[in-house]
Structure 1
Amino acid sequence: MEDRILIVDDEEAICRLFAERLAQEGYICVTARNGREALRWFLKDPFSLMIADIRMPEMDGVELLKRVKATDPKMMVIVITAHPDIDLAVEAMRLGAYDFIIKPVDLDLLSLSVTRALEKKRLEEEISAYRLHLERLVEERTAKLQEAYRILKKAHLDSVKVLAEAIDAKDPYTRGHSDRVTRMSLKIAFQLGFTEDRLESLEYGALLHDIGKIGIRDEVLQKPTTLDSDEYQYIQEHPLIGVRILEGLDFFKDKIPVIRHHHEHFDGSGYPDGLAGEAIPLEARIVAVPDAFDAMTSSRPHRGMMPLQDVLTELERWKGIQFDPNVVEIFLHEKIYKL
């Protein structure tokens, strides 16, 4: 059966452009100009996927997403957004959107996202079918289930990476920060002998260590001068904001210590809880070093990028005070910073 796609945007030209491109790839496309019209189509006919703008009259994309997911939780939805709507896009991801794409839309990127979403949908349907016949098919299908599980885990990780990119996008001076911190953290953890499961948990935690910055006002995050004491105290709230965002989600419970404690200091002078030494979770002690390194080697509005040697000297100087000495030793000796 051919895949049917519902395209929702209040700009007719955009609907037509998307429909023409996707029709060339064999999809059947239906267009709607607002959320209410789209909901009528959705309730009337079956669709494999929906592409919806966030900002629309009568019913916006977030409300449409809520209603669609309430009717069909497995429905694949890709949201389209402009830069000012980044927080709404993050909310859409939390509500179950598969992906979001920023305007102006790259049609090749849209096509790739549609392909991946439909592949994921088919995989989930296949896994559901496997479960119905599991007793009869255990031996025959084990390898396929494992591969499907691996792909679904990768899709989950990809969704978290999209969320991490959305966090970094709030501050253009830290674009890519979460990814760099994650890669360096995993290298340190590998040197410390972390198991595969523990490495995977650290990867999610490191990617989302700054998720609380979603709740920090842009004018503070992007302030072109040095923060005053009140602003600095305000920005220190982001670890606890991150905890509040994720604490209701079972999957992220074992990642929360990284998010809460990555600004604790080894001597107990950090925040939010003033933990010291090994009372700070090891994963948080690991993330703290790449986090500080990347901050110092990134250009900021109120200062330029610090020279590498100066940054390495700072890490050495604050070893045992701000940072776990063992983590710093691995970071410097193994040249972890050379990604």
Structure 2
Amino acid sequence: MAHEKILVVDDEANIRLLCSEILTRHEYLPTCVDSPHMALRAVEEENFDLLMTDISMPEMDGLQLLQSVREFQQDLPAIIITGHGRLDQAIHSLHLGAQAFIVKPFTQQELLQAIQETLEKNRLTKENLRLKLLMPLFEISQNLLLEVNPTALFEQIVNVASKETKSDQAILSLRDDVSGALEIKASFPPLDLGSDGIDLFKKIGQKTIEGMEAIIHVEGGKLDGECSELLERCGFSSLVSIPLSYQGKVPAVLSLFKRVDNISYNQSDIELISILSGQAAIAIENAKLFDQLERSHFESMKALAQAIEAKDLYTRGHCDRMVEYALAIAERLGLSAEEKKHLGYGAALHDIGKIGIHELILNKSGKLTDKEYEIMKAHPMLGAEIIKGVDFLSPVVPMIYYHQERYDGKGYPEGLSGEQIPIGARIIAILDTFDAMTSDRPYRKALPMEVAFAELRRCTGTQFDPTIVETLIKIIQEDPQNSSHAH
């Protein structure tokens, strides 16, 4: 390609003139100097695409010059110009990193051929290096497509983006489908910049979405006044913010920031971010579709559970109350987002096995016979059997199977005790009993809250997990709406 900048260093005026005329005629941009000292000054001031230097000059030979120049431009390709008596030095120069040499006197064709071959070789070397650097990223990008848990996916995106671009801060913001507002979903490292930082990230993200194109700002560049001030206050000097677009929509924005003492983003960084953002946009859409599919399956399963409730007016709303309290307990106990989601499913579906129990047994107002009780005891196993074939509900199976176990080991079906019982099953067991006590039944009215609390505490350590009992009571006592009425 033409227009490459070539630095020619030779103490012979006729060689400099010849090179200048040939190169200019073929649309190269030559800078010709007569000494290594002038060459080093030129390299300090601008970048060149190629160095051509005489091997034998008074103050510094061409090989010394090549080594000095590479302190400024490490990957600058070089052609050594030599006379017939200096071929051994020219060959030695190839071992020191020169790409080619030409022998004086040379023809126009020899000069142009050496330049073209050297530039092409350098281009291929750079491309090969670039691909080697990008290959791990392609593998990482493919792994993103396999992650369907949104929280884990968002964290993976910011971690990879930060690491691969050596950014000081990576932010992933999602656009709400209804309101259009941006919400920060993941950051690496975790946010600790205060209100200015949050303000900056949201403004940059919003500008990226509104413009539907990347915002690239490097040190010394221009950014609008308010964002520029925020950037400076937060200690950043450069940023790249990319819209993660999919099928014409922008569901998310990936914003990366570097501090003043970090090197600004370059073309390689931007290319890398573009590849990552393209894969990230598809991965986010995949996760959304998977989530929608999962919700659809769950709603179908929940409809079965609610079909059981519909048989009994007294248990209507039981599932929804179970889910509400279960999630509140999970929050207090510090369970992860995934654990909370699965607990919500478990609380809603814990009695799904009762679909296989006869209605006469379910709605019997008096005490069950021994035979009826044995039939009723099968409902956790039936429930686990119903949902075990649904992949996304596999973590819920143990909650349903073990939710009739007792803390002292005297429950069923396996007689597990203490923390052998999955925490989800322990939470559901307490909530199931609590909701039954505080709901109207065919044979009695709902018990007052304080009576229900006293009963839960009486059974602490025998039937129920003490920590979970106290957590539930505290949650209800802190919410006047809950503590003022039974169901």
SS state of the match for residue 476, structure 2? coil
Distance 2:438 2:299 in 1: 26
Contact 2:407–2:463 (CA under 8 A) maintained in structure 1: yes
Q: TM-score, normalised by structure 2?
A: 0.40
**1:308-335: CA deviations, max 9, x gaps?**
2111110111111110000001111222
Q: Structure 1 156/250 Cα, relative in aligned 2: closer, same or farther at 3 Å?
A: closer
Which residue is 2:342 aligned to? 201
Which residue is 1:229 aligned to? 370
AA aligned to 2:476 is: K
Match of 2:360 among 219, 222, 225: 219
Mapping for residues 146-165 of structure 1, pairs under 5 Å: 146-165=287-306
**1:113-156: CA deviations, max 9, x gaps?**
xxxxxxxxxxxxx9xxxxxxxx9963554554444444444333
Contact 1:225–1:301 (CA under 8 A) maintained in structure 2: no
SS state of the match for residue 334, structure 1? helix
- How far 1:178 sits from its partner (Å)? 1.5
Match of 2:476 among 325, 335, 338: 335
Distance 1:176 1:221 in 2: 16
Contact 2:309–2:315 (CA under 8 A) maintained in structure 1: yes
SS state of the match for residue 335, structure 1? helix
Distance 1:180 1:310 in 2: 19
AA aligned to 2:340 is: L
Please say which of residues 301-310 and 147-156 is displaced more in the overlay: 147-156
Superposed structure 1 runs of 4+ greater than 6 Å apart: none
Which residue is 2:464 aligned to? 323
Contact 2:305–2:355 (CA under 8 A) maintained in structure 1: no
Does residue 263 (structure 1) correspond to residue 404 (structure 2)? The answer is yes
Uncovered stretches (5+) of structure 1, i.e. residues with no partner: 1-125, 127-134
Which of 1 and 2 has higher RCO (CA within 8 Å, sep 6+)? Answer: 1
* The structure with more radius of gyration: 2
Q: Structure 1 283/331 Cα, relative in aligned 2: closer, same or farther at 3 Å?
A: same
Q: Structure 1 147/280 Cα, relative in aligned 2: closer, same or farther at 3 Å?
A: closer
The total of aligned residue pairs comes to 207
Contact 1:170–1:214 (CA under 8 A) maintained in structure 2: no
Match of 1:242 among 383, 389, 402: 383
Contact 2:304–2:355 (CA under 8 A) maintained in structure 1: no
Contact 1:242–1:259 (CA under 8 A) maintained in structure 2: yes
Q: TM-score, normalised by structure 1?
A: 0.56
Higher relative helix content: 1
Aligned-pair identity in percent equals 43
SS state of the match for residue 188, structure 1? helix
Q: Structure 1 153/332 Cα, relative in aligned 2: closer, same or farther at 3 Å?
A: same
**1:168-202: CA deviations, max 9, x gaps?**
22322211112211111111111111111111111
AA aligned to 1:306 is: L
Distance 2:397 2:459 in 1: 25
Q: Structure 1 248/160 Cα, relative in aligned 2: closer, same or farther at 3 Å?
A: closer
**1:40-64: CA deviations, max 9, x gaps?**
xxxxxxxxxxxxxxxxxxxxxxxxx
Distance 2:283 2:422 in 1: 36
Higher relative strand content: 2
Distance 2:370 2:282 in 1: 60
> Once superposed, what is the RMSD of the aligned Cα atoms?
2.5
Mapping for residues 1-339 of structure 1, pairs under 5 Å: 138=279, 141-335=282-476
